[in-house]
Amino acid sequence: MSYEIPTYETLTISIENHIAHVQLSRPNEFNAMNVAFWQELPVAVRDIDNEAAARVIVISSQGKHFTAGMDVSVFSNPKSLNFSGDRARAAENFRRTVLQLQDTFNSLEEVRIPVLIAIQGGCIGGGVDMVSAADCRYCTEDAFFTIKETELGMTADVGTLQRLPHLIPQGLVRELAYTGRKMFADEAKAAGLVNKVFPDQESMLAGVMEIAADIAKNSPLAVIGCKEMINYTRDHTVADSLDHIATWQSGMFSPEEMMKSFAAKAQRVAGEFEEIAPVRPPLGG
């Protein structure tokens, strides 16, 4: 399948061996999340998923820091934040803006394929919102995480406080949120926020790409089923989740896929699996 990678203002994307590498590419601005970023990221990851252009997405960033968080230009954008006029209408507009910001990172959770994030240096404010929505996180020894919004006089509102309690102990989440302090790589690893800590960015990217390759060699149908079930289980009871997987298997279980896996293992070669189908509008519209 041929997929033409679009050009973005804030992202650089490459796809090789079923792995899409999405880089935040504003290193001189510490990858601060400007208006274009909030618009481009969900389009990019959903496009990759909808076109079945990759089996895994790896997100990293260029420069010293992963991201400095929300760019101040977002707060001064009159199209997004307009507090003039009737208070109720201004409030409705602000609520809709927050929901749009949330949707940017919801996309990481909602795409069918796994999203891995490689973090170096600072992961600040909106960066924590972002990485909390990913499937797996990895970082360098110099990385740190901070819920910066509290120090700025506001409550984090783009996903950190909703997702982080599912990833690390709630008492730690509360401490980080109430104080706004930095959590460094060793603490993040001990708490379970990141899977592994690497000495530097180069070794981190190499290591994360190896993990992505291990994912990509498996049946894409089986992998998306894993993501669907883990996300569903997080938000439902065990009983509901068991029922969900039973229903899923009744339609998605593929003996042919298993036979391909068995044959590949027996021959000690990589399995050759059909890609998942692209997502198309109803009736081909």
The answer to whether residue 133 is domain-embedded is yes
Pick from 10, 56, 26: which is nearest to 275 by CA? Answer: 56
Q: What is residue 281's predicted lDDT score, i.e. its pLDDT?
A: 77
Residue 6, in any domain of the structure: no
State the alpha helices, DSSP H only, in the chain.
Answer: 35-50, 72-75, 87-110, 126-132, 160-163, 170-179, 185-191, 201-216, 220-235, 238-252, 255-267
135/102 same-domain check: yes
Report the alpha-carbon angle 17-61-218, nearest 5: 25
Helix H or strand E segment including 118: strand 115-119
CB 132 within 8 A of CB 164: yes
Which pLDDT belongs to residue 283? 64
8-65 pLDDT, tens per residue?
A: 999 999 999 999 999 999 999 999 999 999 999 999 999 999 999 999 999 999 999 9
Residue labelled with tokens 């109720």: 88
pTM of the model: 0.94
Query: Could you tell me if 143 and 55 lie in one domain?
Result: yes
User: 224 and 207, same structural domain?
Assistant: no
User: Is 2 among the domain residues?
Assistant: no
Q: Which domain holds residue 40?
A: 11-216
In a domain, 173, yes or no: yes
Q: Is 4 a member of any domain?
A: no
Q: CATH number for the domain including 129?
A: 3.90.226.10
Mean predicted lDDT score pLDDT of the chain: 94
The band of 2, judged by pLDDT with boundaries at 50, 70 and 90, is confident
Q: What is the CATH number of the domain that holds 244?
A: 1.10.12.10
The residue type of 51 is: E
Mark whether 225 and 212 lie in a shared domain.
no
Q: How many domains does the chain fold into? A: 2
- Same domain assignment for residues 61 and 158: yes
| 5 within some domain | no
> In the β-sheet with 136-140, what is the strand arrangement from edge to edge?
11-16, 19-24, 56-61, 115-119, 136-140, 196-198
Answer whether 143's CB lies under 8 Å from 199's CB: no
Digit-coded pLDDT (tens) for 206-246: 999 999 999 999 999 999 999 999 999 999 999 999 999 99
Picking from 199, 216, 233, the residue at the C-terminal end of a domain is 216
| Percent with pLDDT over 90 in the chain | 80
How far is the C-alpha of 238 from the C-alpha of 245, rounded, in Å? 11
What does the pLDDT look like over 139-183, one tens digit per residue? 999 999 999 999 999 999 999 999 999 999 999 999 999 999 999
Q: In the predicted model, is pLDDT for residue 75 greater than 70?
A: yes
CA distance 172 to 193: 11
